[in-house]
Amino acid sequence: MEIKKKLLMSSKETRQDKFGKSISYLSIGFIILLVSLILYFIISKGLSTFTQNNVNVWDFLTKQDWSPSSIGKDGKPEVGALPMIITSFGVTILSAILATPFAIAIGIYMSVIAPKKGRKFLQIIIEMLVGIPSVVYGFLGLTIIVPMNRHLFGGTGFGILSATLVLFVMVLPTITSLTVDSLNSVPKYLSDASLALGATRWQTIYKVILRAAIPGILTAIIFGMARAFGEALAVQMVIGNATLMPKNLITPASTLTSQLTTGIGNTVMGTLGNNALWSLALVLLLMSLVFNIIVKIIGKRGSIK
Amino acid sequence: MLNAKKFISIISIMIISGLVLTACGNSNDSSKSKITAVGSTALQPLVEEAANEYQQNNNNVSITVQGGGSGTGLSQLQSKAVTIGNSDVFAEKQNGIDAKKMIDHKVAVVGMAPVVNKSVGVKNLSMKQLSDIFTGKITNWKQVGGKNQTIEVINRVKGSGTRKTFEADVLKGKSAIKSQEQDSNGTVKKIVASTPGAISYLAFSFMGDNTLQPISIDNVKPNDKNVEDNSWKIWSYEHMYTNKNIDKATKLFIEYMNSKEIQNNLVKKLGYISIHNMKVTKDANNQIVK
């Protein structure tokens, strides 16, 4: 009897196991709840522009006049987000194009050319760049880059070019560190085999290591773009915030995020002015989802077999 | 098992200390009356300083002052989340706010003036010229007697109190051209001072130093005296809105804001104009009463 009871009773170890499990399930459940609440809030708020205020979704995405708090010429509020969407994509793509060559060069240096010396030194620099808050980048942009562009190109100096240059510095560490990771994860036997076949170091880097690391580098670029797309404060400080269709790189423009940060304090919850801003937030959310899906696809397709 | 025990004890310590802390908080609450003032960033420094002085003499009151913008202040007041909503604009003029449910306490007056970069060579404009510049009809400084230089209009963001006042008093219902928008007086000042051909508008308190050129309108200089008798037209009130059923502590604090002590010292020191000195009043529809 005694033995049977002892055998059927759960041991200390089992109870520990259960306890640990329930703690982690609790945490996971909480995070899932939190994320779904955030999603629900943004989606319901963002859609109310179209459901409550009867704004046409197509007009929202294609019209160019943005003035949701006041009535436009045709008696309806002007809720056209196209200039912001274009500008957001513009600064994102331009800064990624600018940052990628630098990131790959630094990555090759850190992982292939000088793994010991380069790593130590550059790692510190990159981590430092990551640690600087975005308001500091914005402030530097406002005091250095904007006057520089004004001097070089005329106008006010505010615009897509200034935003691109600020974002370049901000996405560089993201793209670089992920590129280094992907270069490091290229199997050593590939480069060894290439060298054994008589290829020079440059040929090995260019034809073998870079080639094998391409999916990882693409992922790094997408992550950098996601960072640039979502950056608000630094961009808002240097882009000028004019809700105009960007004609060139040196006239003031406005991104989705800069419109959100400048507008949200001056509108009242529940009005169209406020709902329209939530719709911009919804666009941002959907875009970050798209970026994540692209990363997943690249990861699946591009891995070396 | 030791780990689990440790874990449980840590959790229980956290819970107990949490309970104790909230209990402390509660006991504080019952002895102190709390006032929360949220909203306009233009009014924030004045209310903050006044609240500090007030709390030194009345330690049974605790006052929290926050920014967030006039819209935030009024909507938080409407949902009864705060006791005072600070606003640069009349509640009647804010979309989605029911002004009838609120009481308006005007605590100061702010004068605003157009400012230009020093290089443009213009010191005076007529009201018509100013309005034409901001609606995009005049685009070069030589059209108004300045240098041959393109005009760069720098606006405040839509919905900002300064912009609403400027547009009501200068543009009179016409809409401004789309141009660069900045979200604070400080940034506007910096940009106008450094950009050739720039024009914008600022509250008087931001024009102290000599980095930019204030513009006279129809030869009236932008100063406090001209605002007081309305010969300078661009000015607005700073409002502290409360709900209809106002509690005693809030009422006393607002009375303190309107007292001679604050109006004659702090208000002037921070660059606002005392509400007692005004010889005219303005209503929500921008009508002047002498």
Report chain B's mean pLDDT, rounded to a whole number.
Answer: 85
Contact B109, B161 (CB under 8 A): no
- The alpha carbon of residue B194 is apart from the nearest alpha carbon of chain A, in Å, by 8
Write out the two tokens for A285. Answer: 């959310």
For residue range B50-65, what is the model confidence (pLDDT) as tens digits? 999 999 888 888 999 9
Task: Say if B33 is an interface residue toward chain A (CB within 8 Å).
Answer: no
Tell me the C-alpha distance between B180 and B1, whole Å: 64
* Contacts B66 to A, Cβ<8 Å: none
Cα dihedral B9, B10, B14, B20 sign: positive
Query: What mean pLDDT comes out for the span A17-36?
Result: 95
Query: Which H or E element spans position B221?
Result: none
Residue of B nearest to A20 (CA): B4
Q: What is the DSSP letter of B220?
A: B
A1-15, A61-75, B190-204 — most confident range: B190-204
Is the CB of residue A67 less than 8 Å away from at least one CB of chain B? yes
Q: Using a CB-CB distance cutoff of 8 angstroms, which residues of chain A are in contact with residue B92?
A: none
Q: With beta carbons less than 8 A apart as the criterion, state whether B153 and B199 touch.
A: yes
Q: B159 to chain A nearest CA, in Å?
A: 5
Q: What is the ipTM of this complex?
A: 0.73
Write out the two tokens for B163: 């912009």
Strand pairing category for B102-116 and B198-203: antiparallel
Give me the count of residues in chain B. Answer: 290
- Distances B27 to B19, B35, B59 between C-alpha atoms, Å: 12, 16, 15
pTM: 0.80
Q: Looking at residue B140, what DSSP letter applies?
A: B
Structural element, H or E, at residue B256: helix B248-257
Cα A267–A271–A277 angle (5° rounding)?
A: 60
Closest Cα to residue A209, out of A220, A221, A194, A196? A194
pLDDT at residue A247 tops 60 = yes
- Which range has highest mean pLDDT (A33-42, B10-19, B277-286)? A33-42
Asked if residue B2 has pLDDT above 70, the reply is no
Q: Chain A residue with minimal CA distance to B11?
A: A23
Please name the residue of chain A whose CA is at the shortest distance from the CA of residue B98.
Answer: A268
Helix (H, G, I), strand (E, B), or coil: what is residue B91? helix
Greater confidence (B96 vs A220) lies with A220
- Amino acid A85: pLDDT: 93
Question: What is the structure's pLDDT at B129?
Answer: 93
Which tokens hold the place of A185? 């994860």
Q: How many other C-beta atoms can be found within 10 angstroms of the C-beta atom of residue A190? A: 15
**Lookup result for tokens 């040929």:** A203
Interface with chain A: mutation pick from B89, B148, B181, B187, highest number of A CBs within 10 Å: B181
Contact between B212 and B193 under an 8 Å Cβ cutoff? The reply is yes
Measured CA distances, B228 to A149, B109, B126, B206 (Å): 42, 9, 20, 19
Per cent of chain A over pLDDT 90 is 54
Per-residue confidence (pLDDT) for residue B6, from 0 to 100: 65
The three-state (H, E, C) secondary structure of chain A, written as one string? CHHHHHHHCCCHHHHHHHHHHHHHHHHHHHHHHHHHHHHHHHHHHHHHHHHCCCCCHHHHHHCCCEEEEEECCCCCEEECCHHHHHHHHHHHHHHHHHHHHHHHHHHHHHHHHCCCHHHHHHHHHHHHHHHCCHHHHHHHHHHHHHHHHHHHHCCCCCCHHHHHHHHHHHHHHHHHHHHHHHHHCCCHHHHHHHHHCCCCHHHHHHHHHHHHHHHHHHHHHHHHHHHHHHCCHHHHHHHECCCCCCCCCCCCECCHHHHHHHHHHHCCCCCHHHHHHHHHHHHHHHHHHHHHHHHHHHHHHHCCC
Share of chain A above pLDDT 70, in %: 97
Task: Identify the CA nearest to B122 among candidates B231, B198, B201.
Answer: B198
- Dihedral of the alpha carbons of A54, A58, A62, A65, in degrees to the nearest 10: -10
| Average pLDDT of every residue of chain A | 89
Chain A residues with CB inside 8 Å of B99's CB?
none
What is the least distance, in Å, from the CA of B108 to any CA of chain A? 20
User: What pLDDT does B220 receive?
Assistant: 92
- Do residues A113 and A191 lie in contact, with contact meaning Cβ atoms separated by under 8 Å? no
Q: Is B223 helix (H, G, I), strand (E, B) or coil?
A: coil
Question: Cα–Cα distance between A194 and A192 in angstroms, integer?
Answer: 5
CB pairs under 8 A between A and B: 93
- A154 vs A257: CA distance, rounded Å: 26
Report, as an integer, the average pLDDT of A88-112.
Answer: 94
pLDDT at B27 over 60: no
Among chain B residues, the shortest Cα distance to A13 is held by B1
**What is residue B136's DSSP assignment?**
T
Single-letter amino acid, residue B47 = V
Return the pLDDT at A304. Answer: 57
Would you say the C-alpha torsion A213, A215, A218, A219 has a positive or negative sign? negative
pLDDT of residue B36: 92
* CA–CA gap between residue A182 and residue A169 (Å, rounded): 21
Inter-chain touch A266–B175, beta carbons under 8 Å: no
Would an 8 Å CB–CB cutoff place B162 in contact with chain A?
A: no
Q: Which residues of A touch B182 (CB under 8 A)?
A: 241
| Chain A residues touching residue B69 (CB < 8 angstroms) | 264-266
Dig out the tokens for B179 from the structure.
């141009």
Retrieve residue A251's tokens: 């006239």
The kind and range of the H/E element at B11 are helix B2-31
Is residue A77 within 8 Å of A60, Cβ to Cβ? Answer: no
pLDDT one-digit tens code per residue, A167-178: 999 999 999 999
pLDDT at A305 over 70: no
Interface check for B30 against chain A (CB to CB < 8 A): the answer is: no
pLDDT band at A77 (very low <50, low <70, confident <90, very high): confident
Q: Which of A26, A156, A160, A264 to mutate to test the interface with B (most CBs of B within 10 A)?
A: A156
Q: For residues A46 and A34, is the Cβ–Cβ distance under 8 A?
A: no
Closest residue on chain B to A259 (Cα): B157
B183: pLDDT confidence band, cut at 50, 70 and 90?
confident
- As given in the structure block, the two tokens for residue A66 are 């943005």
For residues B222 and B216, give the distance between their C-alpha atoms in angstroms, rounded to a whole number.
6
Q: Which residues on neighbouring strands pair with residue B155, listed in sequence order? A: B181
Q: Do A240 and B68 touch (CB under 8 A)?
A: no
- Chain A residues with CB inside 8 Å of B187's CB? 142, 237
What is the pLDDT, as a whole number, of residue B25? 46
Structural domains of chain B in order of their starting residue, each with its CATH number:
34-110+236-289 (3.40.190.10), 111-228 (3.40.190.10)
Q: What is the pLDDT of residue A192?
A: 92
Nearest chain B residue to A159 by CA: give it: B180
What's the rounded mean pLDDT across residues A98-116? 91
Interface test with A, best of B5, B157, B179, B180 (most A CBs within 10 A): B180
Whose structure tokens read 């001679």? B260
Q: Is B94 on the interface with A (CB under 8 A)?
A: yes
